[in-house]
Chain A
Amino acid sequence: QQQVKQSPQSLIVQKGGISIINCAYENTAFDYFPWYQQFPGKGPALLIAIRPDVSEKKEGRFTISFNKSAKQFSLHIMDSQPGDSATYFCAARRGANNLFFGTGTRLTVIP
């Protein structure tokens, strides 16, 4: 059973546009929600993370919006660049336990 649902599966955005990826979860015990960026053949790299006591977190061009009541969170990439083309995974974790990943979104930014 997929603990974290992610959409869309793939996304094509023009350079300079906004990329939006959405995730939803059911387990209210999750208390840490990171986003990972993965390039082909590489390990996932942490982009940005949020805890449920905060509704939004921004780091550079990357913003997480978190809606605790709806059990949803999303990643916004502003001013998307071709170098942002990668697969993005949302994830969730309870305490010190393992990460549960979403199914991934393959982002392509067209020059």
Chain B
Amino acid sequence: AAGVIQSPRHLIKEKRETATLKCYPIPRHDTVYWYQQGPGQDPQFLISFYEKMQSDKGSIPDRFSAQQFSDYHSELNMSSLELGDSALYFCASTHLAGNEQFFGPGTRLTVL
């Protein structure tokens, strides 16, 4: 069965650079959630989209933005990167918001 695809899987950036993370949800899933997981921490909700519209916002810094495109894939754009942004970034998708969230393998971002 198709799963959530995230790219890239690993990303190394310097401080103050920008990064773009991509998420391809499971086919026919209409809702995407982004989570950030720091080392040894639980995933923290950043932002979600339903049918290409932002549906909810969590602890996402103003330096970050995201969107969902017409094909339902989503991109998380991160600017002015800081050392503290180093984390695993997960995307999860679901069909008809409210059902089980399927998580992708994550993007490991390292900011040097």
Give A residues with C-beta under 8 Å from B: 34, 36, 41-46, 49, 89, 95-104
- A-contact 0/1 string along B73-101, CB 8 Å cutoff: 00000000000000010101000011011
Using A42-B105, A89-B43 as known contacts, list a sample of 5 further A-B pairs with CB atoms less than 8 Å apart, ordered by residue number in A: A36-B103, A41-B88, A43-B103, A101-B44, A103-B41
CA distance A17 to B33 in the complex (A): 36
* Between-chain CB contacts (< 8 Å), 30 pairs: A36-B103, A42-B105, A43-B4, A43-B103, A43-B104, A43-B105, A44-B103, A46-B100, A49-B100, A89-B42, A89-B43, A95-B98, A97-B48, A98-B33, A98-B35, A98-B45, A98-B48, A99-B33, A99-B35, A99-B43, A99-B45, A99-B92, A99-B101, A100-B45, A101-B42, A102-B42, A103-B42, A104-B40, A104-B41, A104-B42
Give B residues with C-beta under 8 Å from A: 4, 31, 33, 35, 40-45, 48, 50, 55-56, 58, 88, 90, 92, 97-98, 100-106, 108
Count how many pairs of residues, one from A and one from B, have CB atoms less than 8 Å apart in the complex: 54
A34 near B100: Cβ-Cβ < 8 Å: yes
CA distance A36 to B42 in the complex (A): 11
Residue of B nearest to A43 (CB): B103
B106 near A42: Cβ-Cβ < 8 Å: yes
A41 near B108: Cβ-Cβ < 8 Å: yes
Q: With A96-B98, A97-B56, A102-B42 in contact, do A43 and B48 touch (Cβ < 8 Å)? A: no
Residue of A nearest to B57 (CB): A98
Q: Is the interface of A mostly helix, strand, loop or mixed?
A: loop
CA distance A97 to B97 in the complex (A): 8
Question: Which residues of A are found within 8 Å of B105, using beta-carbon distances?
Answer: 42-43
CA distance A103 to B92 in the complex (A): 19
B42 near A43: Cβ-Cβ < 8 Å: no
Which among B4, B42, B103, B104 has the greatest number of chain A C-beta atoms within 10 A?
A: B42
Question: Which residues of B are found within 8 Å of A46, using beta-carbon distances?
Answer: 100-102
**Nearest CB of chain A from residue B24's CB, rounded to whole Å:** 14
Question: Which residues of A are found within 8 Å of B97, using beta-carbon distances?
Answer: 96
Residue of A nearest to B103 (CB): A43
